[in-house]
Amino acid sequence: MKKIFSLAVTICMVLSLAACSNGKTISNGESVTSTNTTTKTTDNSNGSTEKETKGSNMSTRVIENGTAITLTIGDTVIPATLNNSTTAKELISRLPYTVSLNRFSHDYCGVMEDPLKYDEKDVHNGWMNGDIDFARDADYFTILFEDEEKSQQFGDQVNIGKLDGDLSVIKGLGSSIDILIQLAPT
């Protein structure tokens, strides 16, 4: 009986981890950086203005008029910005908030104990490198750092913000991390 229970627990763990990565394996952290940069500006329904900047090792999305936060992993502090969406506002109301994440080929991902509220109009496929998203299909808090060009196959994404800084910092963290999300000091 113990063997069957152990097998069932192991299968559940593997399936929950596979859901985040869609079966992809952890990359070696290498990235290709382009020197060509293009910018596109969009006004969103959530009241924020976002800019896409392609071709660097920085976050693709730029959020103006957002809320500054920090993501702390051990001694590493990563600045980030949340947008003005319903989902981001709900996260802000819970700060400080700690979530455990596991690394996959293109993201860090972990299940939130209580799902975040979201507006249906904010749900979309794909991401931009450096995005912080809530994946509503499994209540995942995600930090997406690679594979933007392949991301349209992943649905149920709700963008809540983005990292402010070089993405190599997040890529260089361990395979399992606890991340403390807080408002940035003013």
Q: What is the pLDDT of residues 22-80, one digit of tens each?
A: 433 222 222 223 323 333 444 455 444 444 444 468 888 989 899 999 999 999 999 99
Which pair of tokens denotes residue 105? 């080929």
- Domain 24-183 CATH (choose: 1.10.260.40, 2.40.100.20, 3.30.43.10, 2.40.50.100): 2.40.100.20
What is the predicted pLDDT for the residue at 20? 55
Burial of 89 from C-beta contacts in 10 A (0-12 / 13-18 / 19+)? middle
Provide mean pLDDT across the span 138-163: 95
Q: Which residue has the higher pLDDT, 41 or 161?
A: 161
- The mean per-residue pLDDT over the stretch 84-98 comes to 97
Total residue count of the chain as it appears in this document: 186
Angle formed at CA 127 by CA 23 and CA 77, multiple of 5 degrees:
90
Model pLDDT, residue 99: 97
Identify the residue with better confidence: 41 or 158: 158
